[in-house]
């Protein structure tokens, strides 16, 4: 079964029409929503495999709509589309639960590459990872479903947060450089923006898995190198 149903939430008619045509040419089944509210409702009722979400929308901020979808339990990969290079925008998008971001203007080839990387990792690598489970503290990572379970209840991790934690758990006790993490989890070459994204996702993970996030005991920083999950 193909994982190619893509929801595009974009209010600019010209950009929306162009992206729909381009995504169709690359084998995707895209659907366009011009407002955040309609996009959230479509995502809730139709469960697209991936969501492209513009930051500036006529009925609110893409950041807020991303947060709403995560609070609703929607776990599909979300790629934010931003027209600004502002570092704060990128950080805020990741904090709201986005998995990646692309800055306008961008080429269709770059966008398709990012989409395929997210789909491959969300529905490929872990969907067929077998029945093995990974334990991280009091969390059980179910690699069949891509869910984290604590005391029999799911913990709301985004797809990228799950892949990041699973990758660290598979290499428990090892020091992993940020570049290694980027290539394994995001699927593209390291750069300064991607390394910053790793830091943001690590911080979010600590808030969800550590008893005292400000004093982590599981997910440790190795200064000048990267991170290590305690063995």
List pLDDT tens digits, range 154-212: 888 888 888 899 999 989 999 999 989 988 888 777 677 778 888 989 999 999 999 89
Considering the domain architecture, whether residues 217 and 140 belong to the same structural domain is answered as yes
Mean pLDDT of 27-32: 95
- At 186 the pLDDT is 83
Considering the domain architecture, whether residues 109 and 157 belong to the same structural domain is answered as no
Query: Rounded distance, CA 80 to CA 102, Å?
Result: 6
Pick from 12, 75, 8: nearest CA to 38: 8
Considering the domain architecture, whether residues 21 and 59 belong to the same structural domain is answered as yes
Mean pLDDT of 9-22: 94
Is-contact 228 222, C-beta < 8 A? yes
Domain that holds residue 223: 133-229
Pick from 12, 149, 148, 146: nearest CA to 76: 146
Q: From 125, 144, 165, give the residue that closes a domain.
A: 125
Read off the pLDDT of residues 102-152 as tens digits, 9 standing for 90 and up: 888 888 998 998 898 888 877 765 444 444 688 888 888 887 777 888 887
Query: Is the pLDDT reported for residue 22 higher than 70?
Result: yes
Considering the domain architecture, whether residues 111 and 62 belong to the same structural domain is answered as yes
Strand partners, 60: 57
Considering the domain architecture, whether residues 147 and 68 belong to the same structural domain is answered as no
Considering the domain architecture, whether residues 29 and 117 belong to the same structural domain is answered as yes
Q: What is the number of domains present in the chain?
A: 2
CATH number of domain containing 60: 3.40.50.2300
- At 1 the pLDDT is 47
pTM of the model: 0.68
Q: From 104, 125, 146, give the residue that closes a domain.
A: 125
Residue 45 tokens, joined: 């009722």
Considering the domain architecture, whether residues 198 and 113 belong to the same structural domain is answered as no
Q: From 92, 125, 158, give the residue that closes a domain.
A: 125
């Amino acid at each position: 079964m193909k994982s190619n149903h893509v929801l595009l939430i974009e209010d600019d008619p010209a950009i929306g029409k162009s992206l729909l045509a381009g995504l169709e040419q690359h084998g995707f089944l895209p659907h366009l929503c011009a407002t955040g509210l309609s996009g959230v409702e479509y995502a809730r009722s139709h469960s697209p495999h991936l969501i492209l979400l513009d930051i500036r929308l006529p009925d609110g901020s893409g950041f807020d709509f991303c947060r709403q979808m995560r609070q609703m339990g929607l776990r599909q990969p979300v790629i934010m589309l931003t027209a600004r290079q502002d570092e704060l925008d990128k950080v805020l998008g990741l904090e709201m639960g986005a998995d990646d971001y692309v800055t306008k203007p961008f080429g269709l080839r770059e966008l398709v590459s990012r989409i395929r990387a997210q789909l491959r990792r969300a529905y490929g690598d872990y969907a067929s990872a077998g029945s093995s489970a990974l334990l991280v503290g009091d969390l059980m990572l179910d690699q069949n479903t891509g869910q984290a379970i604590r005391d029999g209840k799911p913990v709301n991790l985004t797809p990228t947060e799950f892949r990041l934690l699973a990758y660290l758990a598979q290499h428990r006790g090892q020091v992993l450089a940020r570049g290694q993490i980027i290539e394994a989890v995001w699927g593209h070459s390291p750069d300064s923006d991607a390394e910053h994204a790793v830091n943001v996702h690590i911080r979010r993970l600590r808030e969800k898995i550590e008893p005292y996030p400000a004093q982590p005991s599981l997910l440790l920083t190795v200064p000048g190198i990267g991170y290590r999950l305690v063995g």
